[in-house]
Chain A
Amino acid sequence: MNRAALARYLRRTALDAEFRELARRDPAASFAPFPDLGEDERALLTRQDESLHGLLALVAEDEASPPASRPASPPTNAVRSLGTIDLFLQLVPQPADDGPIPHAVALHAAPPAEAAGACFHIRIHPSAAEVEGGTRLAYTAEIEPLAGPSPAPAGHPWGHRADSTAAHAAAQAVLAAGPEERRQLLLHLLEAIAP
């Protein structure tokens, strides 16, 4: 099978309406500019039935190129993710006669065993970029109330949290960043919107 010839033929029939009409009306005549098309392909292209989808899949596979090669950043500017730091902020309200309620504040490395007061899960995402003169560290963070497992109906496998504090903070980090850090920070932003 000559896939290159097949791809050229299919591209032309997709893009050139006049040629496509010729291919429908008189397939044999439409093969004239493509002498290297094999007999099997000519038979399939003449039938123009569902079996064409196999050929289309082959050509589409050939046309698929590697992931978008963004303007390659020089290696020295590569942004490296440094994993995630998890912290747990616990606020326990204290007795007060009136006025603002004081809180006992504690920061934990793991969810506190004692479920007193309110607890928040803070996820910090550090990243490092090699820039002229050294390494620059950047941080973005998300904060969410820590609760027990939410009931299944509340979750949404395709859900968004575009209005969360974490998403707003991540967006600010993107806007403050230089071009070399932007892609990684955009991914953090999207993670905050749709984990």
Chain B
Amino acid sequence: MTADISIVGLGLTGVEQLTREAERTLRNSREVLFVEPAIGTRDFLEALCPRVTPLYGAYEAGESRFRAYHHMAAAVLESALDHGPVSFAVPGHPLVFVYAPQLIRDAAALLGLSVRILPGVSATDCLYAALAVDPGARGMVQLEATEMLLRRRPLQPDLPLILWQVGSVESRLHTRSPSRPERLDRLQRYLLQAYPPDHPVTALHVSTHPLAPDVLQRFPLDALRDHAASLHSGVTLYLPPAFERPIQDLELLALIDDPAHLARITRDDL
């Protein structure tokens, strides 16, 4: 059954990463509203749906990004109330660092509208591929830069760290101006409490066009502020672990390859 609102992740590299499920949903929508398109996305959407509405002009310099998210969400909800089913198409994954879909979900529930989320390839997925990192190997910490500083979240330097939104750290207001080094001072100081100054940092910007490569910058942690101008809002930082935490539970270690232990913790009624 088609939802009143489908929130569709387009993937990041043009429309190359779009799923067949997403394409079918966009085709069945009466209107597709979209934000921050990659080059060619609009043409692609217009080939699928007769009514395509860009919302990316909602951002205004110096205004809260949240104001823009409210306007995006209101436009989508209004269309769904008026002539659903509609789709809201966003780059990447619709629930990975995209706030308007959360607003839409919450408001739609109060308005009796059904919502379906269709996953897309996120920046995290691209980061795993670009850096050949497996989050299942030893776990991974992901933090939003401003939120981490606000709450002084404890760092776990024995785990890989993905740090989001470094380019917009310390402000919720929208701007396209490059950052000054001073913007990253507080963040750099905070990270240096847990990591050594020469700890390697990788900054990744996932390309939005299939002809352009991803942009990878590598530098020591104490040079973070010097890269402020190139760390825009589309850049994600990756810090590998600073050390390996030794195994503490030797009793469990002895059991994990023991067939008798497996027999004890599984049922035999298959």
Residues of A within 8 A of B (CB): 7, 10-15, 20, 23-24, 45, 48-50, 52-53, 56, 59-60, 63-68, 70, 152-153, 157-158, 160, 162, 167-168, 170-171, 174-175, 179, 182-183, 186-187, 189-191, 193-194
Query: Is B77's CB within 8 Å of the partner chain A?
Result: yes
Q: A67-B55, A171-B111 are in contact. Are A20 and B78 (CB under 8 A)?
A: no
A10 and B40 contact, CB distance less than 8 A: yes
B57 and A194 contact, CB distance less than 8 A: no
Looking at chain A's contact residues, is the secondary structure mostly helix, strand, loop, or mixed?
helix
Bound Cα distance A11, B208 (Å): 12
Bound Cα distance A110, B229 (Å): 46
- B14: chain A residues at CB < 8 Å are 14-15
Bound Cα distance A86, B140 (Å): 46
- A14: chain B residues at CB < 8 Å are 14-16, 38-41, 209-210
7 pairs of residues in contact across A and B, judged by CB atoms under 8 Å: A14-B15, A50-B212, A70-B78, A152-B150, A186-B78, A190-B73, A194-B103
- B150: chain A residues at CB < 8 Å are 152, 157
A13 and B66 contact, CB distance less than 8 A: no
B70 and A191 contact, CB distance less than 8 A: yes
- Of the candidates A24, A66, A190, A191, the one whose C-beta lies within 8 Å of that of B211 is A24
Residues of B within 8 A of A (CB): 14-16, 33, 37-44, 53-58, 66, 69-71, 73-75, 77-78, 81-82, 99, 102-103, 106-107, 109-112, 146-147, 150-151, 172, 205, 207-213, 215
Looking at chain B's contact residues, is the secondary structure mostly helix, strand, loop, or mixed?
helix
- Of the candidates B33, B54, B58, B211, the one whose C-beta lies within 8 Å of that of A20 is B211
With contacts A167-B106, A190-B73 known, what are 12 further pairs, Cβ within 8 A? A14-B209, A15-B15, A15-B40, A50-B212, A63-B39, A65-B54, A68-B54, A162-B110, A170-B110, A182-B82, A186-B73, A189-B111
B70 and A190 contact, CB distance less than 8 A: yes
CB distance from A47 to the nearest CB of B (A): 10
Q: A23-B211, A45-B211 are in contact. Are A15 and B78 (CB under 8 A)?
A: no
Q: A20-B210, A50-B215 are in contact. Are A167 and B78 (CB under 8 A)?
A: no
- Of the candidates B58, B73, B110, B215, the one whose C-beta lies within 8 Å of that of A53 is B215
